[in-house]
């Protein structure tokens, strides 16, 4: 099979998958998880940066020993990143992967035609 025929076959298979309700649902679920969490994280991060720039007295307040609010907020940035990643992994396994596996099987079937 020449390259052009392979590209056309792959394009037809992709279009067959793209037009399904499951593909639309997969995109919807993905977007409904990613957009709110991205906005939440960006607001949290920008609040951290803003506080470090304009609320220095608050951020330099010592909590325990030499540990101040800025250090705690900075460490919480890492914690929140890992929490969001874990939540996404769980969400993807439960809500996205079943749809994706079905769409992948359909794509493979369409490619064999």
**47-102 pLDDT per residue, tens:** 999 999 999 999 999 999 999 999 999 999 999 999 999 999 999 999 999 999 99
Token reading at 40? 């939440």
Please provide the size of the chain in residues.
Answer: 113
Strand partners, 62: 68
Q: Map tokens 């330099």 to a residue.
A: 60
pLDDT in the model for residue 39: 98
pLDDT in the model for residue 33: 98
Distance between CA 91 and CA 29 in Å, rounded? 9
Collapsing DSSP to helix, strand or coil, 64 comes out as strand
User: How does the average pLDDT of the chain come out, rounded?
Assistant: 95
């Amino acid at each position: 099979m020449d390259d052009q025929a392979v590209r056309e076959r792959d394009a037809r298979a992709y279009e067959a998958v793209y037009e399904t309700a499951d593909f639309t649902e997969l995109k919807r679920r993905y977007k409904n998880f990613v957009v709110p969490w991205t906005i939440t994280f960006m607001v949290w991060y920008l609040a951290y940066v803003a506080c470090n720039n304009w609320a220095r007295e608050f951020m330099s307040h010592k909590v325990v020993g030499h540990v101040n609010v800025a250090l705690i907020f900075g460490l919480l940035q890492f914690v929140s990143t890992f929490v969001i990643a874990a939540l996404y992994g769980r969400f993807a396994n439960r809500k996205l992967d079943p749809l994706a596996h079905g769409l992948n099987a359909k794509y493979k079937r369409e490619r064999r035609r």
